[in-house]
A and B are shown apart, each in its own frame.
Chain A
Amino acid sequence: MPQLDLDTRDALAGAEAEFAPDHTRPRADVVPLYSPPEFVWRNDTERCRRCKRCVMQCGWRALSWQDRVGADHNKCVGCHRCEAMCPEKCIVVAPNPQHYKPHALWSVTHRKNVWKQGDTGGVLLTGMGNDAPYQVIFDHLVLDACQVTNPSIDPLREPMELRTFLGRKPERVELDAGPGSALALKTRLDPNLEIATPIVFAPMSYGSISLPAQKAIAMAAAECGILWNTGEGGLHEDLRPYAHCAVVQCASGRFGVHAGYFNAGAAVEIKIGQGAKPGIGGHLPGEKVSLEVSQTRMIPVGSDALSPAPQHDIYSIEDLRQLIYAIKEATDYAKPVCVKIAAVHNVAAIASGIVRAGADIIYLDGFRGGTGAAPTVIRDHLGIPVEIAVAVVDERLRQEGIRNQASLIAAGGIRSSADMAKAIALGADAVAIGTAALLALGCTLCQKCYTGRCSWGICTQDPELTRRIDPLVGARRIANLVRAWSAELEEILGALGLNAVESLRGSKERLRGLDVDPSTLDVLGVKPAGVGA
């Protein structure tokens, strides 16, 4: 199909004036519109029953009604909400088939970014995780299985232990003689979090996602016996009933943070960094700070919620220790403290410092981790994969004899139970899932979260859109996902001849590499396929 003819373009430019300015619109008034539409919208007019549902469902205002459905291709982000909701299934949203002359160096994406920056002069924003075509190491690792010399275990018959405890474990356990023949534990144990399966939900704040979306996640966590995470947005009143399974976050903006907030949660997380945007802060624009978001964050309505890049009381490991213990003092040492960092080059040494600073859990967020908004250049080019980070951190902590002092959560691109099993074999105690949970809620990865117009009602505060999520239905879908992955993990453990997930933790011997360069395998501590024990 040829590029849109000039008349159509002019018509599109005219139609734009009808709508309030939004983030999806290039500033065509300043310079000519060079960025072509990413998608083209088509419907089969024979089958269309003219119900206008697609027009109503489009949060991007790409569709309008004038006797028939009209589409502004420039505004379509390819979220496929209209397709999914069309009763006749007569809509097709397809990539714009316009063809640019191929160039091995100047990809179409590079060209489009330059055009857009010529249009706007701005830092390009994006949502969700890194979509650049780096090698996915998970896809180049294979798991072992039992054959003849070691028996597999049938998970349909044998009990399988997926229960996991997150937190500091003692060096040794001492027992005293209790009443009668019983033994009593003499060692004082540090607080641990019991989760029914080695999955937790990633931090996603109220503000970045909608309240029904967060509620669905919280309800799923309660149902599955796992944890959800408030992110840096405070704890909404409606979610108090799910505080017992919430990790409450303390980040650089300190939004909604007070002693009662710490004590309400199951654990407290200090957020240093995020895989999608290591080393930078976050800006929730004032227009998303609605009355309810303002109440939860404890800031005025309409105020920008700016999270500075660093926490200004943490410029060193010693400072981190100071905040960890400030939180422990405020919670009377009853809550484990987790520290979340982005996976970066020096992650092993940093993690060692974090354990020595007193953290009970380290959350490692790889460079594929999701986000509601990040500069594209940061998301796509900073940080390292979680596969490498978790392997080197586990190894370092073992070498230093401090692996028992903290649990490891691996996050950032966990797409399946296979990724989960491999992450655990590389050294994680559990994995965190954010994007996968949102996909279960209907997200299609259009990566436009930062615009606040999510037609699926996930990443928006517009009540017209947020009401599209029924928390009960959403919780069911997310809980189903957790149940399915847990059942698959049991199958994997059975094939490996294991009956407890803790036996897989850090068991790199049960992994082999396929098509991975030797130096990466060396860093991972994994042998190439074909090499025996």
Chain B
Amino acid sequence: MRIDAQGLHYRELNARIREAVAAGEESIELANVNGQRYIGDGVERQVRIDVHGVPGNDLGAFMDGPTVVVHGNAQDAVGNTMNGGTLVVHGDAGDVIGYGMRGGKILVRGDVGYRVGIHMKAYRAQVPVLVVGGTAADFLGEYMAGGVLVVLGLNGRQGHPLVGDYCATGMHGGMIYFRGDVDPSQTADDHVTIRPAGEDDLRQLRAYVEEYAREFGLNAKAILSHPFTTLVPSSHRPYGGKYAA
């Protein structure tokens, strides 16, 4: 079904989406979206939502199951604390993407902003994956507890490094992959180990990159032909030695 979001307040737009989801709609197309927040928020069913226009903050927050495809740029807090499902952004996304996400996938064609992938976590079969096609800004993967973050740097801002400063502070689980080199001074190098991606890493990466390439019509082989760098936490207890009883 198609919903014209022109002039609709987010509360009304989301009420209509929830109504359609409850009625068993399989596919919902949103036209003329212009900054409406919370699209897909808390939806717990497998439904496809196509967003035309620019969705507002907290797209797919707390969601568990839907596939949301944004045919353009997205704003902040995409996939906030999401539990499952897929979010695809064909342009850039803003700050705080995938905060606290526990499952599902976020694929961003372009760049992302600050505080991305903070406190991503994994639980049993739920391993969240966040793939950034371009570059990421400061605080990437802070407090990361699980899941997989991939930064490809394919179409990043010219002259910008793959990632900003303070990457992986307090990281105690999960993996971060960079297509290219990362300067240790940009990371919390006392919390993480930085190494060239090995065989096992590439095997894991291949699946994510292939899905990413398929989604955006790119050549996975060409993307994977470049050397990758892996960040893994040095300890599961980054602050264990700090306190005295």
Within 8 A of B (CB), among A311-339: 312-313, 322-323, 325-326, 329-332
Q: A375, B243: Cβ atoms under 8 Å?
A: yes
B239 to A306, Cβ gap below 8 A? yes
- How many A residues touch B, CB cutoff 8 Å? 47
Contacts A286-B237, A312-B96; A326 near B38 (Cβ below 8 A): yes
**Of residues 162 to 189 in B, which have CB atoms within 8 Å of A's CB atoms?**
170, 172-173
Q: How many angstroms from the CA of A24 to the CA of B61 in the assembled complex?
A: 42
A108-128 interface with B by 8 A CB criterion: 116-117, 119-125
| A312-B119, A329-B41 as given contacts; A124 in contact with B244, CB under 8 Å | yes
Q: What size tier do the contact residues of chain B reach?
A: 35 or more
In the bound complex, residues from chain B placing their C-beta under 8 Å from that of A329 are 10-11, 14, 37-38, 41-42, 61
Residues of chain A within 8 A (CB-CB) of B172 are 303-304, 306
Which residues in window 124-170 of B have CB below 8 A to A? 126, 139, 142-143, 145-146, 170
Task: Say whether, besides A303-B145, A329-B42, A285 and B240 are in contact (CB < 8 Å).
Answer: yes
Task: Please report the C-alpha to C-alpha distance between residue A23 and residue B244 in the assembled complex, in whole angstroms.
Answer: 8
Q: Which of A234-270 contact B (CB under 8 A)?
A: 250, 252-254, 257-260, 262
**B42 touching A330, Cβ below 8 Å:** yes
Give B228 Cβ to nearest chain A Cβ, in Å. Answer: 25
Asked whether B68 is an interface residue with its Cβ less than 8 Å from the other chain, the reply is no
B37 touches A253 (CB 8 A): no
- Closest B residue to A123 by beta carbon equals B243
Asked whether B87 is an interface residue with its Cβ less than 8 Å from the other chain, the reply is no
**Cβ of B244 and Cβ of A257 under 8 Å apart?**
no
Q: Are A121 and B44 in contact (CB under 8 A)?
A: no
Q: A257-B100, A259-B64, A299-B145 are in contact. Are A122 and B41 (CB under 8 A)?
A: no
Query: Is B118 touching A312 in the complex (CB atoms < 8 A)?
Result: yes
Q: What's the least CB distance linking B165 to chain A, in Å? A: 16
Q: With CB as the reference atom, state the residue of chain A lying closest to B58.
A: A326
Interface residues of B in 52-71 (CB under 8 A from A): 57-58, 61-64
State which of A250, A259, A304 has its C-beta within 8 Å of the C-beta of B236: A304
Question: Given contacts A308-B119, A332-B18, is CB(A325)–CB(B146) below 8 Å?
Answer: no
> How far, in Å, is A435 (CB) from chain B's closest CB?
20
A290 at the interface (CB under 8 A from B): no
Contacts of B83 in A (CB 8 A): 258-259
Residues of chain A contacted by B38 (CB below 8 angstroms): 325-326, 329
A97 close to B (CB within 8 Å): no
For residue B245, CB closer than 8 A to chain A, the reply is yes
Known contacts: A253-B119, A254-B100, A325-B38. The answer to whether A304 contacts B245 by CB under 8 A is no
CA–CA, A139 to B10, complex, Å? 50
Residue of A124, A306, A313, A451 touching B99 (CB-CB under 8 A): A313
CB-based contact B238/A304 at 8 Å: yes
**Which of these, A24, A260, A312, A325, contacts B142 with CB under 8 Å?**
A312
Q: Is the CB of B99 within 8 A of A312?
A: yes
CA separation between A332 and B172, bound complex, in Å? 35
CB distance from B11 to the nearest CB of A (A): 8
Binary contact track A292-308/B, C-beta < 8 Å → 1, others 0? 00100011101110101
User: Chain A 115-154, CB within 8 Å of chain B: the 1/0 string?
Assistant: 0110111111100000000000000000000000000000
Known: A312-B119, A322-B37. A306 touches B96 (CB 8 A): no
Which residues from A are CB-within-8-Å of B118? 308, 312
A364 to chain B: closest CB distance in Å?
25
Instruction: Among A283, A294, A313, find the residue whose CB has the most chain B CB atoms closer than 10 A.
Output: A313
User: Does A41 reach chain B (CB closer than 8 Å)?
Assistant: no
> Is residue A206 contacting chain B, with contact meaning CB distance below 8 A?
no
Complex CA distance for A116 and B243, rounded to whole angstroms = 11
Does A322 contact B77, Cβ atoms closer than 8 Å? yes
Please state if A298 and B123 are interface contacts (CB–CB under 8 Å): yes
Pairwise interchain contact B122-A300, C-beta atoms closer than 8 A? yes
Q: A485 at the A/B interface (Cβ < 8 Å)? A: no
* Chain A residues with CB below 8 A from B58, complex form: 322-323, 326
B46 in contact (CB, < 8 A): no
Q: Collect the chain B residues with CB atoms within 8 Å of residue A299's CB.
A: 121-123, 145-146
Chain A residues, CB < 8 A from B240 = 285, 304
Query: With the chains together, A14 CA to B126 CA distance in Å?
Result: 47
Residues of A within 8 Å of B243, CB to CB, are: 122-125, 375
**What chain B residues lie within 8 Å of A24 (beta carbons)?**
245
Indicate if the CB atoms of A450 and B245 lie closer than 8 Å.
yes
Q: With A299-B122, A329-B38, A331-B42 given, can you name 4 additional A-B contacts, CB distance below 8 Å? A: A259-B44, A299-B121, A326-B38, A329-B11
Which 7 pairs show the lowest CB-CB distances between chains A and B? A122-B244, A330-B42, A254-B100, A120-B244, A23-B245, A259-B42, A298-B123
Residues of chain A at the chain B interface (Cβ within 8 Å): 23-25, 116-117, 119-125, 250, 252-254, 257-260, 262, 283, 285-286, 294, 298-300, 302-304, 306, 308, 312-313, 322-323, 325-326, 329-332, 375, 448, 450-451
| Contacts from B to A (Cβ < 8 Å) | 10-11, 14, 18, 37-38, 41-44, 57-58, 61-64, 76-77, 80-81, 83, 96, 99-100, 102, 115, 118-119, 121-123, 126, 139, 142-143, 145-146, 170, 172-173, 236-245
Give 14 A-B contacts (CB < 8 Å), ordered by A residue. Answer: A254-B100, A286-B236, A298-B102, A298-B121, A299-B121, A300-B173, A303-B172, A304-B145, A306-B172, A313-B80, A322-B58, A322-B77, A326-B58, A329-B37
